[in-house]
Amino acid sequence: MQLKADSGKDPEVLAQQMWRVTELLDAMGMLTIRAVQRAREDVIRRQQQELFELSTSVVKLWDGILALPMIGTQDSEPTQYVMESLLKRIVETGSDIAIIDITGVPTVDTLIAQHLLKTVTAIRLVGAECIISGSRPQIAQTIVHFGIDLEGVATRSTLADALILGAKQLRLVVAIRG
């Protein structure tokens, strides 16, 4: 009503004013949509980070033995974070053995295999030994197919077997029931 009164009886002026109002409302709508979209993306990013941190936490299994159970598909940025977390915990705890358990990793590609080797090297550089556990037949075949050399790296098929090996390396007495 106000636009009609402001434009007088000139339909062209009324149409221009209506067009300006429409453009203003469209711009406000787009601004609102973008703000909601950014807020949702921030929530998703935060949830992904929290989920990632939960799925890659370093666990102290025994005095001197840490484990990193890896879960899900890995890519370069998170695996860098994982390596840093593991190395930090090795230094903080003075652990001599780090077990990387890949049971929960569905596939290994060349990037992940190379990162695994870099992590093993970094673990050794901070004065600990690494045991890789949880390699299933298809992952073992993939690693061999890519020509990744794990010579000198202890491997075990299960986390339990890796823990037993780690305990032996630390000369701990482990009683196994069963």
Domain 56-169 sits in CATH 3.30.750.24:
yes
Q: What is the pTM of this model?
A: 0.69
Phi/psi region, residue 147 (left: phi>0; alpha: psi -120 to 50; beta: rest), is: left
Which letter does DSSP use for residue 102 in this model? Answer: E
Q: What is the pLDDT along the chain (178 residues), one digit of tens a residue?
A: 565 666 667 888 888 888 999 999 999 999 999 999 999 999 988 887 776 666 568 899 999 999 998 877 666 566 777 788 899 999 999 999 999 999 888 888 778 788 888 899 999 999 999 999 998 888 888 888 888 777 889 999 999 999 999 999 999 877 777 6
